[in-house]
């Protein structure tokens, strides 16, 4: 069976309620599909209107359903009338065999009455009807998906026309507090979260939501060697300093074991000055290889700018004191030293394989966002064109 591209559009309400991680986790573990794209959308009036107009007549066999979805989109996606501020939604792309059917089954129908958490809509959606008249009094479907390849293609082609202007890092959204004290910071979910289907990525996002910060940008990507070298470039000097702090003691211990008599660490300091750059370069190569799947010293010149073989997810959070709040919930770089309940303590393995990276300052956050180009994602748009041109 050929691969398909399916979408999940997480509505503004569950994003405001910070249910995004739980929803993503559900799709990752209940399908064998690969998450290949993610974008935050601040739908313009033009996109919301075009989307609602399409939904108003997309299924001639069920006009009641069409009206329900169309009216919902007009209400939930149209920017605030008074201020023009948009509402945040998140568009996810999943790829794999029979992707459209699998996504639809995990999502569930709006008319199901299981109310037991079997589907995404059972857990995160709601539809309240008047028991006497059957009139729908409240409707929140949590996500919007496509029931057929044809429908998926039509919707994605419609959204594709607006991604350049409405997607990226969404500024000024209705539920994102503004002001001069607000910061943006970057979180990067590392490759160890994506090597097999798991709850890890969604659970990490759920933990971060306890900070009260808002996701204003997201990008699924494969880091190139060139990006990794620039991103982690400042680490080189710190690796040299780290080695000088422990190198002499370790060398003295090794020599003592080898020769059978005590060796003083102090005279070995000049040796460590020589070894520190070699240690830093080896560790730096290990970091780049972990993040990209490629070792810089083994790369051909033309391979340095190609997407790597490992996957990452960039998340931009915004809010008051965002940098410190994120670093606190992540915990110490070494998972063994991180406090219980922190992300790195719960999901990390060692200093390098520690689940997530977080910017250490607002200035570095902007530098890192620039390197990863979170604002733009031509691969996301190319995926849609490839499947539904």
- Provide the annotated active-site residues: 357
**What is the C-alpha to C-alpha distance for residues 350 and 102, in angstroms, rounded to an integer?**
35
Task: Identify the residue whose tokens are 């910060």.
Answer: 213
From CA 7, how far away is CA 163, in angstroms rounded?
14
C-alpha 91: how far from chain center:
11
E strand segments, the chain? 3-10, 34-42, 88-97, 126-129, 136-140, 143-145, 182-189, 214-221, 312-320, 356-358
Cβ-based neighbour number of residue 73 at 10 Å: 25
Q: Sign (positive/negative) of CA torsion 323, 324, 330, 333? A: positive
What separation in angstroms does the CA of 352 have from each of 208, 249, 289, 324? 20, 23, 11, 20
Q: What b/e sequence results for 92-121 when a residue is b if at least 16 CB atoms lie within 10 Å of its CB, and e otherwise?
A: bbbbbebbbebbbebbbebeeeeeeeebbb
Q: Which residues pair with 250 in a beta bridge?
A: none
């Amino acid at each position: 069976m050929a691969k398909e591209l399916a979408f999940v559009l997480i509505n503004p309400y569950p994003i405001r309620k910070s249910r995004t991680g739980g929803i993503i986790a559900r799709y990752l573990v209940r399908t064998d599909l690969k998450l290949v794209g993610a974008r935050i959308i601040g739908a313009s009036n033009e996109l919301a209107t075009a989307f609602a107009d399409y939904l108003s007549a997309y299924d001639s066999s069920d006009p009641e359903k069409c009206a329900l979805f169309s009216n919902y989109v007009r209400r939930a996606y149209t920017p605030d009338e008074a201020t023009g501020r948009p509402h945040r939604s998140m568009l996810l792309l999943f790829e794999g065999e029979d992707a459209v059917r699998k996504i639809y089954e995990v999502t569930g129908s709006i008319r199901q009455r299981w109310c037991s958490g079997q589907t995404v809509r059972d857990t995160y959606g709601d539809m309240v009807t008047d028991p006497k008249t059957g009139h729908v009094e409240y409707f929140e479907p949590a996500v919007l998906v496509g029931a057929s390849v044809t429908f998926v293609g039509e919707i994605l082609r419609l959204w594709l026309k607006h991604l350049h202007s409405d997607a990226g890092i969404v500024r000024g959204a209705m539920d994102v507090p503004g002001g001069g004290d607000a910061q943006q910071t970057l979180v990067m979910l590392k490759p160890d979260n994506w090597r097999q289907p798991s709850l890890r990525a969604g659970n990490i996002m759920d933990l971060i939501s306890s900070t009260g910060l808002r996701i204003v940008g997201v990008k699924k990507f494969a880091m190139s060697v060139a990006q990794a070298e620039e991103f982690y470039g400042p680490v080189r000097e710190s690796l040299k300093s780290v080695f000088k702090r422990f190198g002499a003691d370790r060398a003295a211990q090794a020599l003592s074991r080898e020769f059978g008599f005590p060796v003083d660490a102090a005279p070995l300091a000049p040796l460590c000055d020589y070894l520190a750059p070699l240690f830093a370069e080896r560790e730096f190569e290990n970091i780049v290889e972990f993040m990209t799947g490629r070792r810089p010293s083994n790369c051909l010149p033309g391979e340095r700018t190609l997407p790597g073989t490992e996957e990452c997810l960039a998340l931009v959070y915004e809010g008051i004191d965002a940098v410190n709040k994120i670093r606190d919930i992540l915990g110490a770089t070494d998972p063994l030293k991180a406090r219980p309940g922190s992300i790195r303590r719960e999901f990390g393995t060692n200093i390098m394989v520690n689940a997530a990276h977080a910017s250490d300052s607002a200035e570095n956050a902007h530098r890192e966002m620039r390197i990863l180009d979170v604002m733009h994602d031509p691969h996301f748009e190319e995926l849609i064109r490839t499947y539904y041109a």
